[in-house]
């Protein structure tokens, strides 16, 4: 069966510091991969998605970036964090031919910027 791992679970970082969140998927090949952010009291916002290695699309302009160095690895990064980057970050995967297949979420990373 397929599983998705996301780490760390919680992270406290100072303003201006770099960020690297990692997500890996097991048990499937060539998944579509997604990064979302959920700010307090707001809905899930799609940040990045990827249909294959090295293929990244950005949904919103921001100081974050994403990379997909391997088929089942998705990384969210920042060179300099802002206070507004605080939130709950979720990685998700879906079968490459989605049809009626849902997106499945990792456990999330709660990021607090001080």
Partner 1 sequence: GQNIDQPTEMTATEGAIVQINCTYQTSGFNGLFWYQQHAGEAPTFLSYNVLDGLEEKGRFSSFLSRSKGYSYLLLKELQMKDSASYLCAVRDRYRGSTLGRLYFGRGTQLTVWP
Query: What are the residues binding partner 1 (CB under 8 A)?
Result: 32, 34, 41-46, 49, 51, 59, 90, 96-98, 100, 102-108, 110
Closer residue to partner 1 in complex, CB, 1/14: 1
Q: Cα–Cα distance between 66 and 19 in angstroms, integer?
A: 11
Nearest distance from C-beta of residue 44 to partner 1, angstroms: 4
Q: How far is the CB of 8 from partner 1 (least distance, A)?
A: 14
d(CA 105, CA 29): 16
Instruction: Give 26 or 59: the residue with its C-beta nearer to partner 1.
Output: 59
- Identify the DSSP state of 100: T
Shortest Å, Cβ 16 to partner 1: 27
* DSSP tag of 58: E
How far apart (Å, rounded) are the C-alpha atoms in residues 63 and 73?
21
């Amino acid at each position: 069966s397929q599983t998705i791992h996301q780490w760390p679970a919680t992270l406290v970082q100072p303003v201006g510091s770099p960020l690297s969140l990692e997500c890996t998927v097991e048990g499937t090949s060539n998944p579509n991969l997604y990064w979302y952010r959920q700010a307090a009291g707001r809905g899930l916002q799609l940040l990045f998605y990827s249909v294959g290695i090295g293929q990244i699309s950005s949904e919103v302009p921001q100081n974050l970036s994403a990379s997909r160095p391997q088929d089942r690895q998705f990384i969210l990064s920042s060179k300099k964090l802002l206070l507004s980057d605080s939130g709950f970050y979720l990685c998700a995967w879906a079968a490459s031919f989605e049809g009626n297949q849902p997106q499945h979420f990792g456990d999330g990373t709660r990021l607090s910027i001080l």
